[in-house]
Amino acid sequence: MTEFAYTAKSLNGERRSGTIAAETKSDALQKLRAQSLFPLTVTGKQVAKAGAGFSLPKRIKKEQVADLCSQLADLLTNGVPMLESIQILAEATENPRLREAVLRIHDSVSQGDTLDSAMARENGIFSELTLSMIRAGQEGAFLEDALQRTAHFLRKQDEMRSKIIGALTYPSILGIVGTTIVALMVVFLVPKFQPLFDRLEQTGSELPTITVILLGASNTMMSYGVFVIAIAAIGVFGLLRWMKTGTGRRITDQIKLHLPLLGSIFHDAAVSRTCRVLGTMLHNGVPLLRALRISSESTGNVLLADAILKSADNVTAGDSLSKPLLASGLIPPQVMAMIRVAEESNTLDDVLVKISDRIDGRIERKLDVLVRMIEPLMLVFIGCMVMFVIVGVLMPVLDLNSSVG
């Protein structure tokens, strides 16, 4: 429920102000009119519940936006009017932030706005791709199909992202846990042997190099551990900020494409995303130039985005789409051959989606192989770190036993 502040006039011309509780702005206007009041201004905000504590705004997932588009398409296909469909979706939406956004969209549409312009006011919820496809669907009288295809695209993107995250979750946890255990051993276990090492040095025995390195690491972490962590945190924060700059993004994307094992996956993911966005938008009637500019923003790679923008300039000049893409060297030759043939046969939209499906299948296979490789490599790496600590501690003891013997 939302509390709306209003200013209105009564039948005798008296000016009144106050608040009124209603689900939407339209409901608030109706309630005021039922009280024989003529509203002048009505503004509202969510009222905090009594005893409610501080809570962060709930994130809206792509899957939730996809469900919203799909359900709206189903309702419209079955003959439910637009306003009633949006109201039904608002009541059925569980995410509070998304529910409020849908209610605002309902109010805007009820006042004469188009669906895409109402959605465009909800910053950070609906992407430019979603808005363009809905706009094209409204203009071409195929809104239901545009909504379904948008939902399918969003689910595909979310599915691929989930697979990549899921594939890297276990190795990441393994690495974090292993590194933490080794750090604890260096901080708490190694100092227990310090008196023994001191006595060995007093007797003239030299400590092994591995033990000297281990002791240096332990002393550094014991004396300056907080500073090391702080410097590392500041360094990571600064690196992340730099990566968001134009130069940082370009260099980062270049590095990502040349990483061993992961480079080809990042490359294929960028190409697949570009092909799927461009093909889906073309199929839904979005003009080629606009589709190219929007798809350039959705690549996730600055280098590929530049190549797509050059292609847009090429198309504007009356040339083919494929020449700048081929010159960039970022699109595989077999994909370029299919795009070139599709341009000539006017089937670019279908071919691009098929290319994306094929690349997605290849990414899944690569991810499967990568995970199978990373897990044993992480175990070997953690085992080597633990072995380094154990050997560094035990070697002086073994040397002492051999000299005594």
pLDDT in tens, 376-404: 888 888 888 888 888 888 887 776 666 55
Residue 51 gets the label, from left (phi > 0), alpha (psi -120 to 50) or beta, of: left
Instruction: Please write the tens of the pLDDT for every residue from 295-329.
Output: 777 777 788 888 888 877 777 776 666 676 777 77
Q: Which of 66, 65, 95, 70 is nearest to 85 (CA)?
A: 70
Query: Six-digit token pair at 47?
Result: 């009222």
CB atoms under 10 Å from CB of 66, counted, come to 21
Query: Six-digit token pair at 132?
Result: 């363009």
Q: Which of 203, 175, 178, 196 is nearest to 392 (CA)?
A: 196
For 156-180, what is the mean pLDDT?
80
For position 58, what pLDDT does the model report? 63
Would you say 99 and 90 are in contact if contact means Cβ atoms under 8 Å apart?
Answer: yes
Topology (CATH level 3) of domain 155-405:
Receptor-associated Protein (1.20.81)
The mean-pLDDT minimum among 39-53, 101-115, 130-144 falls in 39-53
Q: What is the DSSP letter of 20?
A: E
Report helix, strand or coil for 11: coil
Helix (H) or strand (E) holding 255: helix 246-257
Q: Is the pTM of this model over 0.75?
A: no
CA dist 296 and 300 (Å) reads 8
CB atoms under 10 Å from CB of 58, counted, come to 12
CA dist 167 and 171 (Å) reads 8
- CA–centroid distance for 221 within its chain: 35
For position 235, what pLDDT does the model report? 92
The fraction of the chain above a pLDDT of 90, given in percent, is 1
CA dist 341 and 312 (Å) reads 18
For position 47, what pLDDT does the model report? 43
For position 46, what pLDDT does the model report? 46
Helix (H) or strand (E) holding 288: helix 288-297
For position 52, what pLDDT does the model report? 43
CB atoms under 10 Å from CB of 229, counted, come to 11
Q: Which sequence spans correspond to the domains of the chain?
A: 2-46, 62-126, 155-405
